[in-house]
Amino acid sequence: MDLYDILVRASGTYENSIEGYARGTQGDLVGLAQEGFGTYNTNNGVVAAITTDGEYWVGPANKETINTLEHLGYTFDMNRYVPHSNDMGYGLERLFNSE
């Protein structure tokens, strides 16, 4: 199993606030990830990993996902932003259903 089997690409997507208003594009995340390659973080049940090409990928933060990321060499970094972790699951549902 690899990263792309368990997560969906978040770079370039929109995150909604709890009220349902767009908070902005996540297309800027590639620039923010320049020094976080190979790391992951979790927030509110969402895990975000930064790939070696600087892209953010997100998915549900469960034991299987975390174990897979660590097996792939990703390290935990609590300072990394977690896209779609503050929109009550709306973003993850939308991303996973759009594939």
Which residue has 């996973």 as its token pair? 96
pLDDT for res 76: 97
Look at residues 29, 37, 40 and name the one whose alpha carbon lies nearest to residue 79: 40
For 45-76, write each residue's pLDDT tens digit: 999 999 988 888 999 999 999 999 999 999 99
pTM of the full structure = 0.79
Query: How crowded is residue 32: how many other Cβ atoms within 10 Å of its Cβ?
Result: 15
The model's pLDDT over 5-24, given as tens digits with 9 standing for 90+, comes to 899 888 777 666 555 444 54
pLDDT for res 73: 96
CA distance 57 to 40: 9
Residue 50 CA: distances (Å) to CA of 21, 60, 64: 25, 15, 18
Band (27; pLDDT cuts 50, 70, 90): very low
* 13: CB partners within 8 A, 6+ apart: 25, 26, 83, 84, 91, 95
